[in-house]
Structure 1
Amino acid sequence: MGIECRDSVNIAVVDSGVNPYHSHVNGIDGGVALRVNREGWIEYYEDFRDRLGHGTAVVAVFKHLLKEARIFIVKIFDEKLATYPSVLCEALYWCIHEKIDIVNLSLGMEKDDEQVREACRAADEAGVSIIAAYDEKNGLCWPARYETVFGVCAGEASRDEWGFITDKLFYACGYPRELPGELQLHNIYGHSFAAAHFSAFVAQLLMKNPNWNSKDVRLYFQELYQNKNSREE
């Protein structure tokens, strides 16, 4: 009997939106934008166009590596790459409600936040795998440090490789989608794209294991890490 595979996997890119007409994107499957209004309430709106370029570059990684994935946008950044923790929480709860499989957070916070921690826990309970960028140098270590989140930093790895730092902290390629010729020399680099590359690997795992959820993915990496350490002893 062959391995049963999913037809697709749902990935939410929580970021600055997307330019769906970019040649490296060519459309997405849906999304939403969140913002805090003048009264201090979080409101939903339909315009998730990317004014910063960051979200578009992250989505391009998925579009290049995962032809079958369904990509959804949750725009939480607008004029700058900063927002309130409450907006991030709302984004995570939206992902739970929409039955997202993987949430890519190419972002980080300087300190623990109880509400964000609880939202990540709720997502994990719902079977959602959260992958977040880990930037220790700049102190942007949360939510990557939460037990229910996979943290990823940029390291020496090709686009189809990743490696262990701990059983829940990884390194992966820090470059976005490859650019032609000498343009590659000027390409951006960072933990944001490492998170996206690792999220793509998790998506491939879910495609091959249609009954897995976030806890199965975490157990897979824990066992792989333990086996790796046993071989090295």
Structure 2
Amino acid sequence: MKIISFHRRTPFQQILADLQAHVSDQKEHQTWSCYNDLSCLCVTKQVYERHQAHFNRYPATVEDDVTVSVHAEEEIPWGVRYVGAEKLWKRGRGAGVKIAVIDTGISREHFELRDQIKGGINLVSGRQNGHGTHVAGIIVAEMNQRGIVGVSPEAHLYDVRAFGEDGKSSLGTILRAINWSIENKMDIINMSFGMPQYSEALARSVEKARKQGIVMVASAGNNGGAVEYPARYKGVVGVSAIDQNGKLADFSSRGKGANIKAPGVDILSTWPGNQFKTLNGTSMAAPHVTGLKALEISRSRKNKE
């Protein structure tokens, strides 16, 4: 589009009548937008170039139709800042890294998430709750000058719904969820859930995923004591929760299996209904690490190109 501002001393209606007489194609007439009080005319680039000699008969300023943005800012939650995501974005934002979120389901209509969710599977029936949506936003909330932004805003998210509205699942369903993630060649699996007892079957499933090169990240637990499974398994990155001062949260599980600490107190993220909510928990800490792993994988691939 070209925007033409004619000299105010030349009667605009005279100019317009002259141009209309010169241009005989009715379709071209329809591409014009006139602002009589401004002595301005908007035409397509094609029309301008076709009749440029005639336009040039009149003193005018000709401008391209540039992009204009609102002065809005999206919030970078404290956890995203704390893990250093902003500096890492200079080298990539996780583009194309496939992340399975095994959780209660994700609100796929949320404006921060809908473009980043690339697929998934529903392994349970009934309504969702907001837990999975909150986890998803920490990882991939889009950089769109609205709302918030996640740690790896260009990663590809896969909604693997294995938990019901009550936040509970079964071991068999979790095994199916991990197996789906393996078969669909995920790069990372986020597991913001846990159980206190060891399971041989789950241990084997985790080992299978690890041998396929999948990075597995799990929340340590919120019992204030021993780390739960699957975070405690070898080959899984177990994540405990810290507050804004870097202090381990009172509720966070700790000890063997807690490989890393990440923000998990007063974490703002996405919530169903295009909303946002602040939550606490190691469930919030794990996706910070998942996002960092996505950035790491993306950088590694870029360096190999």
- Larger Rg belongs to: 2
Out of 190, 194, 205, the residue aligned to residue 108 of structure 1 is 194
Inter-partner Cα distance in structure 1 for 2:297 and 2:131 = 26
Inter-partner Cα distance in structure 1 for 2:236 and 2:291 = 15
- Aligned partner letter, 2:263: C
Inter-partner Cα distance in structure 2 for 1:126 and 1:19 = 29
Aligned CA distance change for structure 1 residues 146 and 18 (closer, same or farther; 3 Å):
same
- Provide the TM-score with structure 2 as the length reference: 0.56
Q: Please say if 1:170 is aligned against 2:260.
A: yes
Give 1:176 deviation, angstroms: 3.5
How do 1:142-157 residues align onto structure 2 when only pairs under 5 Å count?
142-157=229-244
Give 1:78 deviation, angstroms: 1.6
Inter-partner Cα distance in structure 2 for 1:68 and 1:106 = 21
Relative contact order (alpha carbons < 8 A, sep ≥ 6): 1 or 2 greater? 1
Give 1:26 deviation, angstroms: 2.8
Give 1:117 deviation, angstroms: 0.5
Inter-partner Cα distance in structure 2 for 1:5 and 1:137 = 33
How large is the Cα RMSD of the aligned pairs?
3.2
The share of aligned pairs that are identical, in percent, is: 27
Aligned counterpart, 2:3: none
Aligned counterpart, 1:202: 293
Aligned CA distance change for structure 1 residues 23 and 140 (closer, same or farther; 3 Å):
farther
Aligned counterpart, 2:171: 85
Aligned CA distance change for structure 1 residues 102 and 190 (closer, same or farther; 3 Å):
same
Out of 17, 21, 24, the residue aligned to residue 112 of structure 2 is 24
Q: Please say if 1:99 is aligned against 2:185.
A: yes
- Aligned partner letter, 1:17: G
Inter-partner Cα distance in structure 2 for 1:106 and 1:5 = 22
Aligned CA distance change for structure 1 residues 200 and 88 (closer, same or farther; 3 Å):
same
Structure 1: gaps (5+ residues) = 36-46, 160-164, 213-233
Q: 1:146 is paired with a residue of what secondary structure?
A: coil
| Cα distance per residue 1:85-142 (max 9 Å; x no partner) | 1111111111010000000001011111111110000000000011000025265610
Q: 2:267 is paired with a residue of what secondary structure?
A: coil
Structure 2: gaps (5+ residues) = 1-90, 141-149, 247-254
Q: Please say if 1:72 is aligned against 2:158.
A: yes
